[in-house]
Amino acid sequence: MVENGEQQGFTMAHMFDNCAIGEFPGMAFTMLRQANLTSKLGGMFNAAVNKTKSFTNGGDIQWCFSQVKGTVEEDVTEADIISCVEFNHDGELLATGDKGGRVVIFQRDELVSTSEGWSAADYLGKANQTHRGEYNVYSTFQSHEPEFDYLKSLEIEEKINKIRWLRRANPANFLLSTNDKTIKLWKISERDKRPEGFNTKDETGMLRDPTSVKALRVPILKPMELMVEASPRRVFANAHTYHINSISVNSDQETYMSADDLRINLWHLEITDQSFNIVDIKPANMEELNEVITAAEFHPSMCNVFVYSSSKGSIRLCDMRSRALCDQHTKLFEEPEDPTNRSFFSEIISSISDVKFSHSGRYLISRDYLSVKVWDLNMDSKPIETYPVHEFLRSKLCSLYENDCIFDKFECAWSGDDRHIMTGSYNNFFRMFDRESKRDVTLEASRENMKPRTVLKPRKVCSGGKRKKDEISVDSLDFSKKILHAGWHPSENVIAVAATNNLYIFQSKD
Amino acid sequence: MLGRVKRKHEEDTDLECYTHQRQSILNISMCKLRTSSLRRVEPCLRRSVLIFNTLKFIEEELRQEGVKVYDASKPSILPSIQCEEMALDPIPCQDHMTHLELSSIGNNVNKTDIEEPKTPNVAVSDTAAIVSTPSSDNSSSAAPLILTTTSAIALSVPVTGSTDILGTHAVTPQRNIASTIENGLDKLLTVESLSSLNLNSLFEDENIIGSSILSSLSSCWTSPSKVDDPLGDIDMAGCDFDLLSPASPNVKLPVTPITTDDLARTFSNMDVLLPSSCGVDSCRNDLLWNDELENIMQVLVGM
């Protein structure tokens, strides 16, 4: 509730902000009154704000540069390449994992405005300087180390494939991180006080002779410099023969699942020595293998429902109440292949690289090589929306196959209000789709324009015909710079975009 | 009239372009499968499966077009002359196998030259291992094959696990009986029809064009008259497998340079099935060769 209050204050502040610079001050105040009337805060309020925006700029979010993390140097160390990005449930923490097995957690600075009561007048005066808190390094730790599989004579990389936060239940934060084989549960806790004034122990911590203690003294807690500790609490190992591609914490916050290429296991967070196999698509005869699991996720509120996607472009929804082994799906979301677009690469490009439930739980997005599709859980015959991400690459598939780019696994993300979708592309470009206005924009993660509150310039790729000014030709795209991983703040328009070894944070202008 | 001719011409060039593209995709796929097994980490299963499916798609298309894809139902599809040429083909995706196979066969062809009694045995297991590697890699259904042919020996060789393209564990319940078969290769060399048929039927299942070719290849080697010809002049007597330990990575099989060149030349006119003819040009590079050989040697010597 406190959180909501803060959020309201924050949002209101921004409405004043709007009011100061916006074209419709009357509108902003109307909305404010409406908001006061409604008892529901948070998401409801956000929706109202979005509506205000739709009057001012067509609902498009104006994205501005906020921060960039990581080295400026051109030559990239392999271990520094970011391999996953994940906000926690309130968006105050942001975790990244890299190929070197490290996890870096960023924490958002507290806003000055929330620390004491600010009057509207103060806000109007400071409107141009205030912006949301910045994310700064909170904790860094080595989550996984390289290992060697002696049975197979193969190395096991330390690369962090996925990070998932647990909902916060106490002052400490918990997250799951996984490489190809092993999942670990980490506790990230703070310590900023230490007990002082024991008279039963001496300075070195040795117990004194009890006979020399004449009085009982209660130790007192003295403040000290903040220490953030990350400690491994559980290690879930030896349950996956193939590479783990997804982990997902159940809404009950007691169990989670881990998916590899052929199987999905269900774990209890407290139990490391056993897990239930809930999906197994490994054929008895490996010759018949023609499909692998590419991603899996639990429903955000129904703890018995999960989905997994496959390399053949289908998404299967399973209900764990029906049977223990969910080999038989409850629903199959699949779009029939378009015969006009059939090519050698039809299957490869239809392979789904990521699947995500909307926050509401009503929709799914799936990312394949060239597009993002929105599925309504109530309709499995075809997607309700399809957004081309980089259609101009369709004619380049052969060379993308040759250089292996066609196997890149792009992720996708929902905005907090489920209205916008973000996903990555090449040349450090990423794409934003507005489901309501059906507009889309291509943006670039670059250091070129790092001035705060300057709106990012939309990029355009020339898709045949004569190249216009400001357009980039397909042939000059840099395919080594790809945005595979990105995260969207759970309630605000703040995004974190991983571009090779740099993490960019963008936020909406208002 | 003119228009129709023109369109006809366009169709022709389109078709040509299409087959050309298909050819290059085939070659790229072969290269990918070959190189993916060279990495020290387990290859990405998703990628391998997608490449395999692409190959299957192309093979299916070729089959529909009436291109002779060798299958079990027609083991006699290869005329003897073609067989000879086939035997020279270095298949890009599996050429490490091919070379070893050739070399081991060379070894056996010149069996009389070899004084040490132990050597033929080594060669036996090597050959068997290699011939059956694709089968034990990808299947547990290889059982009938294993039981009927000499390839059971293959399963006693750790080669199966490490060259495994799909990153799977070979299921090897036959491991124990494998070692009991000692004169395996002799059988393999004499019982021609049996082994070729079985291999072919296996690859028919697998449906991978490269393997189909490999299978037809193996059916060729099993006929001694054909093996004699291209390899008769290669003296394998000095080729002791101990030489090829990881400690001496630069040692090449003597047979390698000869065969590849020959093969490339003799095979250049075979356009239909050629995952190889273009693969040789585009994919081969000596560094890779060395690495690959070294890798295989490690596997073999380490067994």
Q: Residue B180's closest CA among B138, B139, B147?
A: B147
Report residue A210 as tokens.
């009890």
Residue A388 — φ and ψ, nearest 5°? -70, 135
* Cβ–Cβ < 8 Å for B276, B90: yes
Highest mean pLDDT among A41-55, A261-275, B6-20, B155-169 belongs to A261-275
Say yes or no: B205 contacts chain A, CB-CB below 8 A. yes
Report the half-sphere exposure of B71 (CA within 13 A, side-chain side): 13
Question: From the CB of residue A311, how many other CB atoms can be counted at a distance below 10 Å?
Answer: 23
**Could you tell me where the beta strands, DSSP code E, fall in A449-493?**
460-462, 471-473, 485-488
Q: State the ipTM, two decimals.
A: 0.82
* Chain B hits for A347, Cβ within 8 Å: 50, 53-54, 57
In terms of DSSP H, where are the helices of A293-361? 346-350
The rounded distance, in Å, linking the Cα atoms of A236 and B163 is 29
Judge whether B178 lies within some domain. no
Instruction: Provide the mean pLDDT of chain B.
Output: 48
Question: Pairing relation of β-strands A471-473 and A460-462?
Answer: parallel
Cα Rg, chain A, nearest whole Å: 25
Give the closest-approach CA distance of A246 to chain B in angstroms. Answer: 14
The rounded distance, in Å, linking the Cα atoms of A385 and A433 is 11
Burial of B269 (0-12, 13-18, 19+ CB in 10 A): exposed
| Closest residue to B49, CB basis, from A241, A292, A398 | A292
Find which of B17, B37, B42 to mutate to test the A interface (most A CBs within 10 Å of its CB). Answer: B42
Do B54 and A404 count as a contact with CB atoms less than 8 A apart?
Answer: no
The whole-number pLDDT of residue B15 equals 82
Total domains in chain B come to 1
The whole-number pLDDT of residue A256 equals 98
The rounded distance, in Å, linking the Cα atoms of B276 and B216 is 14
Share of chain B above pLDDT 90, in %: 7
Tell me the C-alpha to C-alpha distance, in Å, between residue A7 and each of A66, A90, A113, A184, A491: 20, 11, 12, 32, 10
Report residue B190 as tokens.
């004499």
Which of B 143-202 lie inside 8 A of A, CB atoms? 161-162, 166-169
The rounded distance, in Å, linking the Cα atoms of A318 and A304 is 8
The whole-number pLDDT of residue A208 equals 83
Say yes or no: A150 contacts chain B, CB-CB below 8 A. no
The rounded distance, in Å, linking the Cα atoms of A322 and A331 is 12
Secondary structure letter of residue A132 according to DSSP: P
Give the closest-approach CA distance of B23 to chain A in angstroms. Answer: 11
* Chain B hits for A286, Cβ within 8 Å: 138-140, 166, 168
User: What mean pLDDT comes out for the span B212-226?
Assistant: 38
* Cβ–Cβ < 8 Å for A13, A510: no
pLDDT tops 90 at residue B11: no
User: What mean pLDDT comes out for the span B110-122?
Assistant: 37
Q: Residue A298's closest CA among A348, A215, A356?
A: A356
Say yes or no: B64 contacts chain A, CB-CB below 8 A. no
User: Taking the domains of chain A in order of start, what are their residue ranges?
Assistant: 56-101+143-182+237-508
Concatenated DSSP letters of A190-246: EEEEEEE--SSB-TTSPBPPGGG--S----EEEEEEEEEEEEEEEEE-S--SS---E
User: What mean pLDDT comes out for the span B28-32?
Assistant: 89
Judge whether B49 lies within some domain. yes
Domain that holds residue B32: 22-65
The rounded distance, in Å, linking the Cα atoms of A119 and A410 is 45
pLDDT class for B7, splitting at 50, 70, 90? low
Highest mean pLDDT among A336-340, B164-168, B209-213 belongs to A336-340
The rounded distance, in Å, linking the Cα atoms of A124 and A18 is 10
Secondary structure letter of residue A430 according to DSSP: E
Say yes or no: A408 contacts chain B, CB-CB below 8 A. no
The residue of chain B nearest to residue A295, with distances taken between CA atoms, is B46
Do B46 and A344 count as a contact with CB atoms less than 8 A apart?
Answer: no
Concatenated DSSP letters of B158-178: THHHHT-TT--PPP-TTHHHH
Q: For B247-270, write each residue's pLDDT tens digit.
A: 434 433 433 334 444 444 444 444
Judge whether B53 lies within some domain. yes
Report residue A199 as tokens.
């008279």
Is this model's pTM higher than 0.90 or not? no
Q: Which amino acid is at A361?
A: G
Judge whether B6 lies within some domain. no
* Cβ–Cβ < 8 Å for A87, A496: yes
pLDDT class for B292, splitting at 50, 70, 90? low
Report the half-sphere exposure of A338 (CA within 13 A, side-chain side): 6
Share of chain B above pLDDT 70, in %: 18
| Closest residue to B139, CB basis, from A243, A286, A290 | A286
Which of A 270-299 lie inside 8 A of B, CB atoms? 284-287, 289-292, 294
The residue of chain A nearest to residue B32, with distances taken between CA atoms, is A402
Q: Mind listing the pLDDT tens digit of every residue in chain A (510 residues)?
A: 334 433 433 333 343 333 333 333 333 333 333 333 333 334 344 444 444 343 334 467 899 999 999 988 888 999 999 999 999 999 999 999 999 999 999 999 986 554 444 444 444 444 444 457 899 999 999 999 999 999 889 999 999 999 999 999 999 999 999 999 999 999 999 999 888 887 887 777 788 888 888 888 888 899 999 999 999 999 999 999 999 999 999 999 999 999 999 999 999 999 999 999 999 999 999 999 999 999 999 999 999 999 999 999 999 999 999 999 998 999 999 999 888 888 899 999 999 999 999 999 999 999 999 999 999 999 999 999 999 999 999 999 999 999 999 999 999 999 999 999 999 999 999 999 999 999 999 999 998 878 877 899 999 998 777 777 788 999 999 999 999 999 999 999 999 999 999 999 999 987
Find which of B31, B49, B163, B297 to mutate to test the A interface (most A CBs within 10 Å of its CB). Answer: B49
Question: Pairing relation of β-strands A82-87 and A173-178?
Answer: unpaired
Report residue A494 as tokens.
């703040």
More confident residue, A323 or B302: A323
The rounded distance, in Å, linking the Cα atoms of B88 and B265 is 9
Segment (H or E) for A279: strand A276-280
The rounded distance, in Å, linking the Cα atoms of A404 and A60 is 34
* Cβ–Cβ < 8 Å for A257, A326: no
Kindly state the greatest CA–CA separation across chain A: 94
The residue of chain A nearest to residue B299, with distances taken between CA atoms, is A153
The packing angle between helices B255-267 and B224-231, to 10°, is: 110
Secondary structure letter of residue A172 according to DSSP: S
Please name the residues in contact with B13: beta carbons below 8 A apart, sequence gap of 6 or more: none
The rounded distance, in Å, linking the Cα atoms of B106 and B128 is 14
Q: For B43-52, write each residue's pLDDT tens digit.
A: 899 999 999 9
* Chain A hits for B139, Cβ within 8 Å: 285-287
| Closest residue to A348, CB basis, from B50, B56, B168 | B50
* Cβ–Cβ < 8 Å for A449, A435: no
Tokens 């030559």 sit at which residue? A75
pLDDT tops 90 at residue B179: no
More confident residue, B110 or A158: A158
Question: From the CB of residue A462, how many other CB atoms can be counted at a distance below 10 Å?
Answer: 16
Report residue A200 as tokens.
């039963």
Would residue A78 be called left, alpha or beta, if left means φ above 0 and alpha means ψ between -120 and 50 degrees?
alpha
The rounded distance, in Å, linking the Cα atoms of A76 and A95 is 20
Residue A329 — φ and ψ, nearest 5°? -75, 160
The rounded distance, in Å, linking the Cα atoms of A194 and A220 is 8
Highest mean pLDDT among A367-371, B36-40, B132-136 belongs to A367-371
User: What mean pLDDT comes out for the span B137-160?
Assistant: 34
Per DSSP, the three-state class of B241 is helix
Do B53 and A344 count as a contact with CB atoms less than 8 A apart?
Answer: no
The whole-number pLDDT of residue B295 equals 60
The whole-number pLDDT of residue B96 equals 40
Do A292 and B52 count as a contact with CB atoms less than 8 A apart?
Answer: no
For CA atoms A267, A268, A269, A272, give the dihedral sign. Answer: negative
Say yes or no: A345 contacts chain B, CB-CB below 8 A. yes
**Could you tell me where the beta strands, DSSP code E, fall in chain B?**
none
Highest mean pLDDT among A468-472, B10-14, B194-198 belongs to A468-472
pLDDT class for B294, splitting at 50, 70, 90? low
CB contacts < 8 A, A to B, total 81
The packing angle between helices A43-57 and A25-37, to 10°, is: 160
Q: Residue A145's closest CA among A173, A175, A184, A176?
A: A184
The residue of chain B nearest to residue A148, with distances taken between CA atoms, is B41
Angle at A147 between CA A497 and CA B30, to 5 degrees: 75
Q: Which architecture does CATH list for A56-101+143-182+237-508?
A: 7 Propeller (2.130)
Report residue B15 as tokens.
């078709």
The residue of chain A nearest to residue B51, with distances taken between CA atoms, is A348
The rounded distance, in Å, linking the Cα atoms of B230 and A4 is 82
**Polymer length in residues for chain A:** 510
